[in-house]
A and B are shown apart, each in its own frame.
Chain A
Amino acid sequence: MGERLFGKPDGGSGGASRTRTGGAPDQNRSDEIGGGASGATQGRTGGASGVLDETRSETAPRGPAGATAAPERAEAPRKAHEGRDRAEGAPASAATATRSGILGFLTATRGRGRMDWTDWVSYAYLTFGIFLMFGPVVWLVLSSFKDQNELDRFPPRFLPYAQETMVVDGFDDPLPIFVVTEGELEGQRVGQTRRAAGRAEVVTQDDPDNRIRLTTDQITPVEGVAFATENYTQLFERFNFMQFFWNSTFITLMSTAIMLLVNSMAAFALSKYQFRGRTSVLLIVIGTLMIPQTVVLVPLFLIVTEMGMFNSLWGVIIPGAATPTGVFLLRQYMITIPDEILDAARMDKASEWKIFWRIIVPLSAPAIAVLAILAIMWRWNDFLWPLIVLTRTENFTLQLALNSFQGELQTDWPSLLAMTVLTLLPIASVFMFLQRYIATGIASTGGK
Chain B
Amino acid sequence: MLTILNPLMRIVEIPMLALQRLLGINRLAWAFLLPNLVLFGLFAFLPVILNVFYATTGSDNVLLEARPYIGARNFESLTDCGNYLDANTCREDKFWRAVFNTIWFVTLQVGIMVGFALLTAVILNRDIRARGFFRSVFFFPVLLSPVVVALIWKWILQREGVLNAFLDWTGAGGINWLVDAGWAFGWSVFISVWAHMGFYTLILLAGLQAIPRDVYEAAEMDGASAWRTFRRITLPLLSPTMLVVLVLALIKGVQTFDEIYAFTGGGPGTATTFIIQYIYERGFAGAPRLFGLAAAASLLVAGVLVLLTLAQLWANRRNVDG
Residues of B near A399 (CB, < 8 A) are 145-147
A168 contacts B by Cβ under 8 Å: no
- Report whether B16 and A351 are in contact in the complex, using a CB–CB cutoff of 8 Å: yes
**Complex formed: what's the CA distance from A435 to B146 in Å?**
19
Interface size class of chain B, counting residues whose CB lies under 8 Å from the partner chain: 35 or more
Given A106-B227, A133-B138, A269-B29, also A420-B126 (CB < 8 A)? no
- Report whether A107 and B230 are in contact in the complex, using a CB–CB cutoff of 8 Å: yes
Given A22-B319, A102-B226, A352-B28, also A109-B16 (CB < 8 A)? no
Given A299-B295, A302-B62, A354-B13, also A108-B320 (CB < 8 A)? no
- Report whether B230 and A273 are in contact in the complex, using a CB–CB cutoff of 8 Å: no
Binds B, one of A189-197, A212-220, A380-388: A380-388
**Complex formed: what's the CA distance from A295 to B48 in Å?**
9
For B126, give its contact among A43, A105, A299 (CB under 8 Å): A105
Summed over the interface, the residue pairs from A and B with CB atoms below 8 Å come to a total of: 417
| Contact digits for B140-157, partner A, Cβ 8 Å, 1 yes 0 no | 111111111001111110
Closest to B317 in A: A8
Closest to A307 in B: B42
Binds B, one of A59-67, A69-77, A223-231, A320-328: A320-328
Residues of A near B202 (CB, < 8 A) are 439, 442-443
Closest to B5 in A: A357
Question: A226 → chain B, closest Cβ, in Å?
Answer: 19
Interface of B: prevailing SS: helix
- Report whether B148 and A420 are in contact in the complex, using a CB–CB cutoff of 8 Å: yes
Residues of A near B207 (CB, < 8 A) are 23-24
- Report whether A21 and B322 are in contact in the complex, using a CB–CB cutoff of 8 Å: yes
A130 contacts B by Cβ under 8 Å: yes
The B-contacting residues of A in range 1-23, CB under 8 angstroms, are 1-2, 4, 6-9, 18-19, 21-23
For B130, give its contact among A49, A105, A295, A403 (CB under 8 Å): A49
Residues of A near B143 (CB, < 8 A) are 377, 381, 427-428, 430-431, 438
B37 contacts A by Cβ under 8 Å: yes
Residues of B near A1 (CB, < 8 A) are 43-44
The B-contacting residues of A in range 112-149, CB under 8 angstroms, are 112, 118-119, 122-123, 125-126, 129-130, 132-134, 136-137, 139-140, 143
The B-contacting residues of A in range 399-418, CB under 8 angstroms, are 399, 402-403, 406, 413, 416-417
- Report whether B2 and A275 are in contact in the complex, using a CB–CB cutoff of 8 Å: no
- Report whether A140 and B155 are in contact in the complex, using a CB–CB cutoff of 8 Å: yes
- Report whether B162 and A156 are in contact in the complex, using a CB–CB cutoff of 8 Å: yes
For A383, give its contact among B63, B217, B229, B262 (CB under 8 Å): B262
B173 contacts A by Cβ under 8 Å: no
Residues of A near B27 (CB, < 8 A) are 275
A347 contacts B by Cβ under 8 Å: no
Given A24-B203, A25-B206, A285-B40, also A299-B305 (CB < 8 A)? no
B294 contacts A by Cβ under 8 Å: yes
**Complex formed: what's the CA distance from A118 to B190 in Å?**
27
- Report whether B321 and A22 are in contact in the complex, using a CB–CB cutoff of 8 Å: yes
- Report whether A125 and B123 are in contact in the complex, using a CB–CB cutoff of 8 Å: yes
- Report whether A103 and B145 are in contact in the complex, using a CB–CB cutoff of 8 Å: no
**Complex formed: what's the CA distance from A384 to B76 in Å?**
27
Residues of B near A336 (CB, < 8 A) are none
Question: B131 → chain A, closest Cβ, in Å?
Answer: 3
B204 contacts A by Cβ under 8 Å: yes
Interface centre among B36, B53, B162 (most CB of A within 10 A): B36
Binds A, one of B94-102, B179-187, B278-286: B278-286
For A18, give its contact among B47, B48, B217, B320 (CB under 8 Å): B320
Question: B55 → chain A, closest Cβ, in Å?
Answer: 9
Interface of A: prevailing SS: helix
**Complex formed: what's the CA distance from A35 to B257 in Å?**
36
- Report whether A122 and B128 are in contact in the complex, using a CB–CB cutoff of 8 Å: yes
**Complex formed: what's the CA distance from A184 to B39 in Å?**
81
- Report whether A322 and B319 are in contact in the complex, using a CB–CB cutoff of 8 Å: no
Residues of B near A9 (CB, < 8 A) are 313, 316
B135 contacts A by Cβ under 8 Å: yes
Binds B, one of A173-181, A201-209, A233-241, A260-268: A260-268
Residues of B near A286 (CB, < 8 A) are 313
- Report whether B39 and A24 are in contact in the complex, using a CB–CB cutoff of 8 Å: no
- Report whether B206 and A443 are in contact in the complex, using a CB–CB cutoff of 8 Å: yes
A245 contacts B by Cβ under 8 Å: no
For B208, give its contact among A108, A292, A295 (CB under 8 Å): A108
| Contact digits for B254-272, partner A, Cβ 8 Å, 1 yes 0 no | 0101100110000000000
For A133, give its contact among B13, B140, B205, B280 (CB under 8 Å): B140
**Complex formed: what's the CA distance from A255 to B154 in Å?**
31
- Report whether B209 and A107 are in contact in the complex, using a CB–CB cutoff of 8 Å: no
- Report whether A106 and B229 are in contact in the complex, using a CB–CB cutoff of 8 Å: yes
- Report whether A353 and B44 are in contact in the complex, using a CB–CB cutoff of 8 Å: no
A185 contacts B by Cβ under 8 Å: no
* 3 nearest A-B residue pairs (beta carbon): A50-B133, A46-B131, A299-B50
17 contacts across the A-B interface (CB closer than 8 A)? A1-B44, A8-B319, A19-B320, A21-B321, A21-B322, A104-B126, A109-B127, A126-B128, A139-B162, A156-B162, A296-B48, A296-B50, A296-B302, A302-B63, A303-B46, A406-B262, A431-B143
Given contacts A402-B148, A435-B140, A442-B202, 16 further A-B contacts (CB under 8 A): A25-B241, A50-B132, A95-B220, A103-B226, A106-B227, A107-B233, A136-B152, A284-B45, A287-B44, A290-B302, A351-B17, A352-B16, A406-B154, A417-B155, A431-B140, A431-B143
Give A residues with C-beta under 8 Å from B. 1-2, 4, 6-9, 18-19, 21-28, 43-53, 83, 86-87, 89, 91, 95, 99-110, 112, 118-119, 122-123, 125-126, 129-130, 132-134, 136-137, 139-140, 143, 152, 154-156, 261-263, 265-266, 268-270, 273-275, 278, 281, 284-292, 294-303, 305, 318-319, 321-322, 324, 327, 346, 351-354, 356-357, 361-362, 377, 380-381, 383-384, 387-388, 399, 402-403, 406, 413, 416-417, 420, 423-424, 427-428, 430-431, 435, 438-439, 442-443, 446-447
